[in-house]
Structure formats: structure tokens, C-alpha cells
Amino acid sequence: MKNQIKICIFLLLLFLVWSCNESVSPVTLTDKPTDPKVEAYLNRLLSTMEENSINRKTINWKIFKEKVLTEAKGAAEINDVKVDKAISLALTLLQDSHSFFIKANGKYLSRTVSTVSCKDNPPLLPSPDREIGYIKISAFSGTSEAANTFAQSIQNSIKSADNANIKGWIVDLRGNTGGNMWPMIAGVSPILGEGKLGYFIDPDGIADSWVYGNGEIENVFIKSQYNLIKPMPKVALLTDQATASSGEAVVIAFKQRPNTRSFGSATCGLSTSNAAFEQEGAYLYLTVSTMADRKKIKYGTRVVPDVVESNQQIYLKQAVDWLKG
């Protein structure tokens, strides 16, 4: 009888051990391997980031890639939601706040956590004044002939506002969320001036200059260049937190310009440059360099105005008083 009891106890213990072992490693969907085509697709994307990112020298790429590929574990195809999450994680780990990805199907992917705020109150416009010229430069994303037309429209507006009584100009970049900086610079050139207006500087210190002259800059052409009645005037630049990216590039182009003063709030903080990389119909817009002014002073974050003031009525009056002073 005792031997029978021992055998029963032994069998019971054996069953319990077998049951526990079975529960340690249950088969789940996450145990499925990532499809090789998906892994190759992500590796090509990550290699582009490693070779070109503005932060390529400070990122631990081994850890970076392990995290991204782990996020995509088990993905069966490129349009798997796990791949979207992996790409969004990669954009977050780049820590540049400006890169983004547009899939072949048009879906927009960005970093999972936003580190900048590009919103502000609607701008209050200055009162009409025959002694103060006013030009508003809005966001614009077109290219080719549309860019030429946009640039020419800014110059036409400057020409319409110009008169012999003007003591200075207000250039309003509030709410300019960016797009294509070149037609903006070409358009405002009668006020801004010509020559080297700024730079893109990459992590190796290589500087690519922004040069406007003879009605042309980076494939933007002005057919009828306007010259102010009073050249090289005083300029009051208006900025707010919604001034971003290419809008910030125009702000930086005015930095170090004589007779120039900026008013308002600090800009959004996307004063960096993106380059587009195509991959199987999708596009990675990767941050590759930092914006710098005429003296090669680099920005990369918020551009702070000379006169910081959140009350619009106050800084508009300050701008006008300075122009007339």
C-alpha cells in the first residue's frame, strides 16, 4: 500500500512539473519571426539614417537598430502596423524633432513624442501707416513654376506698398509654418538684399551657402526684380511660436543684416534642414544639417527675437516706434 501511495505521489509531482514547464514558454504571435523582406526594408531605412542623420555622430546605432527591429518583431509585410510603429520609434530615437516619413500609400509617420510646440495665437496686424511698409510672408510648399509665381507675388506686394515716405518695413513671419524657403527668400529680396544670406552646416562642418543674386536662388527665378525706392531700409521682423522650419530660415537670413531688429516670441525650434530619401515609393524626410546665419552662427533650435514680448499690441508699437526713431 505504501509503495502505491509513493507511486501516486511521484506521478502527481511529475504531472505538476510537466504542467509548469508547459506554461513557461507559451506559443504566441509575437514569437513569429519578422518577414525577411520587412527586415531588409527596415535595415535599408536605418542605414540611410545612420549615414545621413544630423545626429549620426552621437547615436549608438547598434542599440538604435536593435530597438527598432525589436519593435517590428513578427511583422508579416511592409504595411504591417508593427512596421509603422518601428519607423515612428526610429524617428523618435533620432532626436531631431524634424524628420518624418511618408509611406507609399500616403500615410504620414512622425516621432511618437513631440518635443516642440508650433502653435500660437492668430497674429494681430499693425495699423495702416504710410511711413511703414508692411509685407506678410506665409507658408508655401510648391516648386517649379508655382514657386516662381509665389516669389513674384511677394515682390509685387512690396512694389505696391512702396512709396517715398517709407521710413522702414515690417516683415511679418508669424504663423509661417514652413515649406519651401527659396521662393520666400527670393520674394522678400528687395528688402532683404542679395549675396550670401545664410548656410546649412552638416555634422562634419561642411557649409552650404544660401546665395541670392540676379533674381535667382535654388531654381527659383524672378522675372521682374523690383528695387525699393529707398534701398537697404530699416526692417522690423515679427516672429511667433508658429514660425517654423523654412519660416525660421527666412528669420535667420535676416540675422546679421544691418538696420534689422526682431520682435515677438521665439520661433518653433525647427531651424534645421531636411533632405528627401526615396525607398520603394516611400519618402524619408531626414534632418541632415543645421541652419546658420551669414556669420555661420548655428541655430537648430528656437530663434529668439531681439525684443521678446508676448503682448502683440506692445511689440507692434515697439516695432513701429523703432522704425520711425
The domain boundary, picked from 109, 144, 168, lies at: 109
* Residue 155: inside a domain: yes
With beta carbons less than 8 A apart as the criterion, state whether 78 and 41 touch.
yes
What is the extent of the structural domain holding 77? Answer: 32-109
What is the pTM assigned to this prediction?
0.86
* Res 24 pLDDT > 50: no
Whether 142 and 242 share a structural domain: yes
Residues in the chain, overall count: 325
Whether 144 and 208 share a structural domain: yes
* Residue 22: inside a domain: no
Parallel, antiparallel or unpaired: strands 195-201 and 168-172: unpaired
As given in the structure block, the three cell numbers for residue 9 are 505521489
Q: What is the mean pLDDT of the chain?
A: 90
* Residue 50: inside a domain: yes
pLDDT at 32: 79
Q: What are phi and psi of 306, to 5 degrees?
A: -65, -40
Whether 183 and 105 share a structural domain: no
Q: How many helices (H) and strands (E) does the chain have?
A: 8, 13
pLDDT in tens, 255-305: 999 999 999 999 999 999 999 999 999 999 999 999 999 999 999 999 999
Whether 166 and 297 share a structural domain: yes
Whether 96 and 197 share a structural domain: no
Of 238, 183, 241, 245, the C-alpha closest to 215 is: 183
Whether 296 and 157 share a structural domain: yes
Q: Give the max Cα distance, the chain.
A: 120
pLDDT at 28: 36
Handedness of CA 88, 89, 90, 95 (dihedral sign): positive
Overall domain count for the chain: 2
pLDDT in tens, 123-167: 999 998 999 999 999 999 999 999 999 999 999 999 999 999 999
Whether 136 and 104 share a structural domain: no
The domain boundary, picked from 74, 109, 144, lies at: 109
Whether 218 and 151 share a structural domain: yes
Whether 101 and 147 share a structural domain: no
As given in the structure block, the three cell numbers for residue 216 are 535667382
Confidence of residue 9 (pLDDT cuts 50, 70, 90): very low
* Res 307 pLDDT > 90: yes
* Residue 236: inside a domain: yes
Whether 144 and 194 share a structural domain: yes
With beta carbons less than 8 A apart as the criterion, state whether 285 and 276 touch.
yes
Of 75, 70, 216, the C-alpha closest to 147 is: 216
* Residue 65: inside a domain: yes
As given in the structure block, the three cell numbers for residue 306 are 531681439
* Residue 279: inside a domain: no
Of 44, 81, 104, 91, the C-alpha closest to 280 is: 104
pLDDT at 5: 35
Of 101, 181, 131, the C-alpha closest to 323 is: 131
* Residue 304: inside a domain: yes
pLDDT at 112: 78
Whether 88 and 214 share a structural domain: no
Q: In this structure, what CATH number is given to the domain that contains residue 203?
A: 3.90.226.10
Of 300, 235, 239, 236, the C-alpha closest to 265 is: 239
Whether 44 and 143 share a structural domain: no
* Res 50 pLDDT > 80: yes
Distance between CA atoms of residues 265 and 133, nearest Å? 21
* Residue 251: inside a domain: yes
